[in-house]
Structure 1
Amino acid sequence: MKKLLLSTSVFISAIILIGASVIFYMDRDQDLNFSRNLPSTLEICGKNIAEKDPQYIALSRWLQANNTEWNSILVSFAPTYVYRGENITINVNPDAVIVNYNVDGEWEQVRRLANTESIFGTCM
């Protein structure tokens, strides 16, 4: 009986340790400069914007200025103000940006908490 309790305790401890490791790994800050890899055109509110468009420039500058403190996140977010491009979706909320991007066929999702006033809007 003592061996069973000891084995169960070791198993539960291992599960807790593995779970905590995954949580800490996912929650680590990452430096990601999406401004370098933006596609040449993005779609926002049903219209295409290109590199010389003020909205595109504002987004690129925001991404460049906010290239630290990105965190992987597993939850889904309701689309708010969404820029779409090849292999990237940028969902802008009033206080956060969620980026879904494709790396070698695998989609990743990260979030950056920050002021988004310069890139947030409403589709009409």
Structure 2
Amino acid sequence: MMKARLYYMAAILLIVASGLGVRMYSEALPPFVADHFGDALWACMIYCSVRCLWVNKPVSWAIVISIGICFAIEFSQLYQANWINAIRHTTLGGLVLGHGFLFIDLIRYSAGIMLAAIVDVMKRLSPRT
């Protein structure tokens, strides 16, 4: 179980670094990558976080929980009270909570979670070395 947690923690660090890289170098990246990969990577990070916390749960469970978290945060962007907008205007708050609801983000999150789940299943099916 600890080995699995370490695998997910390493994946989280790699995904966060990649996501920050996409944000930092978005002008140098192809428009499709700059527009879509940040949100998909954020969802991959959520999936890996869920798997890290609950390594014994089925992949299907992790997919549902991850989609629920991502969608809940996206729909929370429809709520625009001053207190939550103050949090959103911080760097960390903006990265976690976002700023405004976009339907396309739901598609990006779904794609990112499915990609992470596919890699997760493929890693589990690969022969141990």
Given the two structures, how large is their TM-score scaled by the length of structure 2? 0.25
| Larger relative contact order, structure 1 or 2 (CA cutoff 8 Å, min sep 6) | 2
Q: Which has the larger radius of gyration?
A: 1
Structure with the higher fraction of residues in strand conformation: 1
Structure with the higher fraction of residues in helix conformation: 2
Given the two structures, how large is their TM-score scaled by the length of structure 1? 0.26
